[in-house]
Structure 1
């Protein structure tokens, strides 16, 4: 439903020319400013939802001719990066790019996004170090931390597209580190959100915006790694994340829908790891290299061995493209369960 509404809003904005520059007139400055603010708000939601559903954006940035604003809101810059990340890394055409070209794009987008993350960190620091008698908005830090979760989640998604040297895990260590940091920031944000006693709906708003509005991939990245390497430490991180989405002990609210899904995935992962963890009598080669017994397990799928497909051979570039594409669309299928009114 959100996609239907945002698609209609995007279409209307472009029909009305809100995305185009116009000669300034003295009598319409305030109206034009309101139209531009409306357009950039819709642009932000459109980019997030399109990436969430794995679809092209309704608004192409190449069609926007509004004059550059040096004080452009940070959320607009992040939305632009979201659009480019899908177009240049995860769209069907982008998935066929050579490894070297994708690595260059990842470096560019990652650098730009880290600059914005640094700005958000600095703003949080300023907000938390205000004088005691200041009139600072107490909710400001909460919203900034929510933005930070979204930004780190996008950074993890960008780095998930990075080529990986051959090894037991299909995810780079840089990507894993970002995913872990995202979950750490999520827990900090949840502590702040739960302290918002005057706004009981804040938890739901945070989950809707940071977990469901954009493709929240840190969970699936660590899920993949925990399964591949039988890693109890990452499994514990996933379980803590799932628990954080549930109601408190003194809450009469029902479990949130994301909690039920993530909790079931954690239970499935624990059963799998418990059953496959090498015992003391297991062959030493399996202990040293668990991927021998696990194969190329990935989130929601079993990926064939690199270099082999039905009917022929697969090059390294093609194998990594297949792995990335399979992971991305498998993640989309899992996320789509959040859109269904299912009782897990």
Structure 2
């Protein structure tokens, strides 16, 4: 393959591909866009707003469905990526399953278009946003290697444009500066998570970042830091050359930090107005439980570093088996909540991909080893429940792909 020496210009309009892939009905897109504008506190919309704000998403959708001029390939990716999430969320709120089908179609459109992007892309905030959204959908379809490729490219672009240092954005307006900082932190969080998931060194290193973290999502960014340090300090090649005592001390410090985040997350979720949440954001409890399961999975990974020797084990105050049991119990509760909603199999698949497949899901292995050691009947029942949960809905088995 010939290496391209300069960034290629993206095609102005993928209209032919748009028609071939098939657009979701215009009137249905308008319905969910109006709903999104009226429900910005919704968890999934707040999460998406860390990449682009709702109005920027709406602009791309408008270019797609009401094109005064040709829309770009990036607009096509951004609009379909956004609508994929919003259609599914609206399907839960409205109780109409047709919206899940629209969401699946939009996700397929976005991933298909991403696969046709050129090898070398011009760095811009819009390009970065398209790549991050593509990485999120790659995770949602259990393609972590694709997610890494897309997000790593986005991370390199962030560094090229100076989004990782406030001093390099002095000439930007305040809104542009805020938007670019939020976009960078979205890339940063995925970079750390995928680093631990795939066992690769992160693209962005902490000591090269000179940017305050976004206050409203500081917990998410702090967790990303812990994920990055878990790989670097405990599981990287350099970490394996360190002494056992030193690694245990690092694991102990990481476990304390992560337990503090778990306490914060539990406190914030407990203060939510449950009645209002059930009406406007019925799946929020599942999203919060998903977040908690990911935290517990990484905490299990950290605690698992403790050897059997009692003296050194004291460096890690949270026993791996106890944390693993909490993770499996939270998983059971999340599935119960999902079953209580109007959910199609693709939503279960998405949940499994973001919990069991997105992070190294060690809780099952830890509990399994415990059962083999002491024949604990209660733990055996936990394992049986977990295995049964993976088969919830036959469509899950057909969509889950080996990573």
What TM-score results when the alignment is normalised by the length of structure 1?
0.66
Between the aligned partners of 1:53 and 1:133, the Cα distance in structure 2 is 35
Distance 1:231 1:96 in 2: 36
1:225 is displaced (CA, Å) by 2.6
Q: Deviations over 1:81-124 (max 9, x none)?
A: 00011111111221232232222212211111111111111122
Change (3 A) 1:133 1:255: closer
2:368 matches 1:223: yes
* Alpha-carbon distance in structure 2 between the residues aligned to 1:44 and 1:216: 18
CA distance in 1, matches of 2:399, 2:171: 50
RMSD: 2.7
Instruction: Look up the match of 1:338.
Output: 402
Show CA shifts across 1:264-318 (max 9, x none).
xxxxxxxxxxxxxxxxxxxxxxxxxxxxxxxxxxxxxxxxxxxxxxxxxxxxxxx
Paired residues for 1:78-157 under 5 Å:
78-127=223-272, 129-131=273-275, 137-157=281-301
Q: Distance in 1 between matches of 2:231 and 2:352?
A: 22
Among residues 139, 158, 164, which one is paired with 1:19 in the alignment? 164
Q: In 1, distance between residues paired with 2:326 and 2:227? A: 19
Check the 8 A contact 2:346/2:396 in 1, yes or no: no
Match of 1:35 among 180, 186, 200: 180
Structure 1: segments with no counterpart, 5+ residues: 259-336, 340-344
| Other structure's SS at 2:271 match | helix
Note if contact 1:247-1:256 (Cα within 8 Å) is conserved in structure 2: no
Closer, same or farther: CA 25–61 of 1 in aligned 2, 3 Å: closer
What is the distance in 2 between the residues matched to 1:24 and 1:173? 42
| Offset at residue 156 of structure 1 (A) | 0.7
- Aligned partners of 1:25, 1:60: CA distance in 2, in Å? 22
Deviation for aligned residue 1:241 = 0.5
SS in 1 for 2:162: coil
Note if contact 2:202-2:228 (Cα within 8 Å) is conserved in structure 1. Answer: yes
Match of 1:177 in 2: 322
Shift of 1:235: 2.9
Q: Which residue of 2 aligns with 1:253?
A: 395
> Is the 1:160–1:172 contact (alpha carbons within 8 Å) kept by the matching residues of 2?
no
* Number of aligned residue pairs: 253
2:207 counterpart (62, 67, 70): 62
Question: Is the CA contact (8 Å cut-off) linking 2:345 and 2:392 kept in structure 1?
Answer: no
- Specify whether residues 172 and 237 from structure 1 end up closer, same or farther in structure 2 by C-alpha distance, changes over 3 A only: farther
CA pair 13-196 structure 1, distance change in 2 beyond 3 A: farther
Using the alignment, how far apart are the partners of 1:52 and 1:133 within structure 2? 32
| Deviation for aligned residue 1:80 | 0.5
Q: 1:52 and 1:155 mapped to 2: Cα distance?
A: 14
Indicate if the aligned counterparts of 2:349 and 2:399 stay in contact, CA closer than 8 A: no
What CA deviation, in whole Å up to 9, does each residue of 1:119-162 have, x standing for no partner?
A: 111122122x5456996522222111110000111111111112
Instruction: Measure, in 2, the Cα distance between the counterparts of 1:134 and 1:235.
Output: 33
Q: Residue 236 of structure 1 corresponds to which residue in structure 2?
A: 381
Cα separation, partners in 2 of 1:31 and 1:74, compared to 1, 3 Å: same
Q: 1:76: Cα distance to partner?
A: 0.9
Q: Is the contact made by 1:257 and 1:338 (CA closer than 8 Å) also made in structure 2?
A: no
> How far apart in 2 are the matches of 1:235 and 1:126?
34
Question: Runs of 5+ in structure 2 lacking a partner?
Answer: 1-145, 311-315
TM-superposed deviation, 1:208: 1.4
Indicate conservation of the 8 Å contact 2:162/2:169, yes or no.
no
Whole-angstrom distance in 1 between the partners of 2:397 and 2:172:
52
- Which one of the candidate residues 131, 137, 151 is aligned to 1:6? 151
Go from structure 1 to structure 2 and tell me whether the alpha carbon gap of 1:208 and 1:106 turns closer, same or farther (over 3 Å shift): same
1:297 match:
none
Identify the residue that residue 314 of structure 1 maps to in structure 2. none
Give the SS at the match of 1:124. Answer: helix
Structure with the larger helix share: 2
Moved more, 24-33 or 82-91: 24-33
